[in-house]
Every structure is written in structure tokens, then in C-alpha cells.
Structure 1
Amino acid sequence: MVKRLGQRYKQAYQYGPNDTRYQELTLSQWYQTALGQELIEAERALISRAIAGRFGASMVQLDSGFHDILFEQRLFGSGIIVSQLENRAHCPVVCAKPEDLPFEPESLDMLLMHHSLDLCENPYQAVREGALALKPGGLLIILGFNPFSLWGLRAMIQSRASGYGVWNSRFIRSGRVADWMQLLNFELERHEKHLFEPPINRPAWLKSLALGENIQRKLLPFTGGVYLLVGYKQVFGKIHTSPRPHRRGFMEPSVTASSTIRELNRY
């Protein structure tokens, strides 16, 4: 029993899905369920608050199967979705992996990772690619599933070594992702936990459990099902190479040779 729980713990929190493309396809179907729609609506509100008052020429969303823009596209010059599957999103779509982004260095204003770290093969490399693609001062937004929640508990119980779906996603500790961001020179603005609804795919039950959600939010704020990380790429000051003004030393004469010659010619 203990060995089986240990294997499920590793599967849910360390390994993640085996085939990331098929995982994205499975998640695209799960997002259409009642629980998936609840998650999307909550995350739309979180993203809207995170980018409030910000503008930019380019915004990229690393998708996890939703196949639609989660931010207000009118605030940005262009919105692009990066997906491993071809889809019919109402915006330009680029087929690529999160660990290998096809963008020029320092070319993006904002980058949204929508559960991308939960399904990709190398989460740290994905964050590193995002850091390279963002301009100095660019914004990075990461949404992921919190392992220390009811969602994480269900994933540990329900995940299978050869399975796919939301409960076979990689539930990464948000503090670990925050450490990666700080290592890559990001200044954290937000580190929050949200979505205290139990992972039940029944809308009627979710409404009846609203009181319990409020109590959990107040007493156990770290147990939200989703974490939100927002950080901007730091801009370090440059060393000025212009010559400094010459300062006269203590033993340096106060008059120049030419002025001394002019004074002697007067006599």
C-alpha cells in the first residue's frame, strides 16, 4: 500500500504525462466539462487582474489544450497561441513545444504559461525559454495546479502511470517555480493560491459547497487548487563608459605653464 502511494506520488508530482501531445488533446476535451469551465472562468479573472493597466505590442500564450485566448486581445498589438496541436483558435497559432520557443530573444512583452509546466517534459527549460524570449521589463504569468490542495490529493489518488488527463498532469510546487523565476532574474509581483472549489464535476454540488470554500480560503489560504505567479524580467543598470572629469590632485600646481609664461612677459 505504501509503495503504491509512493509510486502515485511520483507520478503526480514528478513525472507527469508520458506523451505531451496526447495529454494536450485530452485536456482540450476536459476543459469543456463543467469543472473545466469553472477553472477557465476563474483563471480568466486572475489573468485580467494580473495584466490590468498594462499594454504591449506582443503577447504569447503557451497553451495546454484550451485552444483560445485567455486575455483581452484588444490590449495588445498581437496575440499568439503556442500549441503542440493544430487548432482553430481565433488568433495566430504556432506549433512548438514550451521548451523550444520559435521567437527571437527579447522580442515579447508578455508571456502567459497556462498549465504549460504541468504537461511539458522539462518545466525548468520552459521557464528559461520564456526568460530568453521576454524583453527587459517583460511580464511572465504562470498558472499551474497546486499539489497541496484537494486537486492535488485527487491527482495522487486517481493518477495512473500510463494514463492521461488533468489528474495525470505534473503538480509542481509553486515555491519551486518561484525559485526558478528568481534564478532567471525575475522580480515576483504575485505568488497566490486560488480556486478553493473541490474537484467535483457536478455544478449543483459546487454551489452547495460555497460556504466551505470561504472557510477554507480564510483558514487555509495555501490550499487553493491553482497557483498564480506573476513576475517581470529585471533590467540591470549599465556601466557608464564616458570619461570622468579630471580632478586636480593635492600636489598638482594650480596654474598651467602657458599662464605662467604670459605672466612673465608682462614684466
Structure 2
Amino acid sequence: MSDRPIIDWPAWTDSPPGRYVLEWEQAQLDRVVFNVFGYHALQLGLPRLDALRENRMPCRGLVLDSASGASAPYTYPPARSPHVAGPELPGSAPLPGAPNSSPVPSDRHAPDGRTTVWCDLLDLPFEAQSVDLIVMPHTLEFTRDPHRLLREAERVLMPEGQLIILGFNSLSLWGARQSVGKMTGRPFVPAAHDLIAFTRIKDWIKLLGFELERGRFGCYRPPLDGETWLSRFAFMEQAGDRWWPIFGAVYMVTAVKRVRGMRLIGPVKVKKPVLATGLTPAATHKTHNPSI
């Protein structure tokens, strides 16, 4: 059972269902990251999805781990227009060749004008509170310790920084087929481990101090392999978004790192009211009750 087959990303993203999912995810990311501002932005894994192409931060980086299936090889085509490389990422270790870095394959790199950092995703070589945006496209499904990876993301994010997570929805037809495929040795989607439920992701990020900003599901067509059959079920996109939104094949979660302000604990001193000049109290020591 430990040697269950895993579909690699390059093969899957070239298939009809892979292109279908990546097109939806790319459209959602382009819309969301466009309005996220700051200085440093990171994409963790999955170089076949250009999660930061519409983001306008001056320093955008792609973080890859040679031991992770989410860092599947991909060579980007030349850019249509020249890009100016941004400044160095904050506090990054010297790569490659650093003692803790992995060998860098020649066919894996970020788009033009981006910085590529090779490291262990569970030990990010960045300073605490130094990154404004982190995008994790299916990264949690390939790491051996997803909760630790979320803690690393929380550590390097600045207060009010944003975290975007994309993953396959286990509560969907795609998730059901994946579960059956794992048992029969024919998985449908690329994931090194079992799919993580959307509700569990929400609980994890809340425990780490994140505030869920928005969540969205997509890709409501059945888990079919052929382009023709997927096209025939295109009508399910609008129907699913309206009638069964939580059963989409994939989800996107956007969360904001909140840092609560400090509160002083102790007795509250109540000041006595000060009378205005020229006014006398309603009752003084000279006031008497005529009935006594």
C-alpha cells in the first residue's frame, strides 16, 4: 500500500481534465492576486500554474522543492515582452549550492523576471514576517506534513498578509473517484497523499490565527478523461455553481493573517465627574428635609 502509483503533474496537466482544472484555477488567481499589494509574493510549488502573473508586486518568487511532486518539471515559454527582474527575496539562503539546498534540475525554472528558490518547503529560508502574499496551489497535497507547512507560511507572512490555497475537493465526484482509484491502483488526480477536506483546511488556518476572507468552488463537470465528454457536460458549470456549490472538484481559499492588538489587564480606575464652573451639586451637606 505504500507504493501506490501517483500521477505526475506534467502528464496530468496535458490531459483534458488537467487543462480543464488549470484553466479554472488560473482564471481565479488572475482575478484575486491582481488587487493584492505589497513588496514580496511567493508561489510554493506547481510551476505549471503561473499563480502570480497578474500580481504587480516588484519581487515575485517561485519556491520549489525537488523532493515534492508539486515541483514537477516545466519550462516556461519565452515572455512576450521583456520583464525586469525584481529585487532579492527577503532573507533567502544562498541557492543553489547551500548546505541544505537540493540539486537544481535544468528544466525547472520560473517565468522570466522571477526569482526561483530551491529549498525544503517545510523549512522556508525567509525571515519571519517578510512576505506579503503566499500562494499554495495543491502544495498541501504533496507535502508529508501539511500542518507544518501552514505554520511556515504563517511565520513568514507579514501581519495582514494574504494566503491563497488551492486543492482538490474530497467532497465531490472527483474526490470519490480518487478514493476508489487509490484502492484499485488507478488514481484520477495527482496527489501524493489523501485529499484534505475543505473543512479541515478552514480549521487549520483558523487555529493559526488566519481569518477566512473568501472561499470558492469550481469545476462541476464529472471526472471524465475525454475532451468530448467534458464538453458535453459544460451545462453543469452554472447549475453546479447555483445548486450544489460545495461539491465542485476544486476549491480556492483566501485567508488574511490577523495579529491581535495588545490589551492591558487589570482594574479599571473610574474617575469622579468634575463639575462645571458655576454649578452646584444637586445635594449638599446644607440640604435638609423639611418634613423631619
Specify the SS of the correspondent of 1:227. Answer: strand
Deviations 1:45-69 (A, max 9, x none): 11123234221211101113x4452
The correspondence of residues 15-164 of structure 1 with structure 2, limited to 5 A, is 26-64=8-46, 66-72=47-53, 75-85=56-66, 86=105, 87-90=108-111, 91-160=114-183
Q: Deviations over 1:170-201 (max 9, x none)?
A: 31101111111110111111122211122223
CA contact (8 A) 2:42 2:63 kept: yes
Which consecutive residues of structure 2, in runs of 5 or more, have no partner in the other structure?
A: 67-104, 265-270, 275-292
Take 2:160 and 2:249, find their aligned partners in 1: how far apart are those partners?
Answer: 29
Deviations 1:214-258 (A, max 9, x none): 333322211100111111100322358xxxxxx7999xxxxxxxx
Report 1:172-183 matches (<5 A): 172-183=196-207
Is 1:193 the counterpart of 2:208 in the alignment? no
Q: Residue 177 of structure 2 contacts residue 188 of structure 2 at CA under 8 Å; is this kept in 1?
A: no
Contact 2:26/2:49 (<8 A) preserved: no
Distance in 1 between residues matched to 2:12 and 2:119, nearest whole Å: 22
Higher RCO (Cα < 8 Å, 6 or more apart)? 1
Structure 1 residues 162 and 33, CA gap change in structure 2 (3 angstroms): closer
Relative to structure 1, is the Cα distance of residues 212 and 164 closer, same or farther in structure 2, using a 3 angstrom cutoff? Answer: closer
User: What do the CA deviations read for 1:128-177 (whole angstroms, capped 9, x no partner)?
Assistant: 11000100000000001101111101101112598877354431101111
Looking at structure 1, the residues matched to 3 and 64 of structure 2 have their Cα atoms a distance apart, in angstroms, of: 17
**Residues 173 and 125 from structure 1, CA distance in 2 versus in 1: closer, same or farther, beyond 3 angstroms?**
same
The alignment's C-alpha RMSD in Å is 3.1
Percent identity, aligned pairs only, is: 29
TM-aligned CA distance change 1:57 to 1:138, over 3 Å: same
The number of residue pairs the alignment matches comes to 228
Given that 1:106 and 1:136 are in contact with CA atoms closer than 8 Å, whether structure 2 keeps it comes out as yes
User: Are 1:103 and 1:133, in contact at CA under 8 Å, matched by a contact in 2?
Assistant: yes
The AA in structure 2 aligned to 1:231 is A
Structure with more helix by fraction? 1
Which residue in the other structure is 1:210 paired with? Answer: 234
C-alpha distance in structure 2 between counterparts of 1:63 and 1:28, whole Å: 13
TM-score by length of 2: 0.69
Shift of 1:33: 2.1
- In structure 2, do the counterparts of structure 1 residues 168 and 235 end up closer, same or farther at CA, with 3 Å as the change threshold? closer
Q: Secondary structure at the match of 2:235?
A: helix
**CA deviation digits over 1:16-74, x for unaligned, max 9?**
x879xx96x8113322222212211100111123234221211101113x445222255
Matched, 1:234 2:258: yes
- Opposite residue 54 of structure 1, the aligned amino acid is V
Q: 1:68 to 1:207 in 2, by over 3 A?
A: closer
- Corresponding residue for residue 3 of structure 1: none
TM-score with structure 1 length normalisation?
A: 0.75
The letter of the residue matching 1:78 is: C
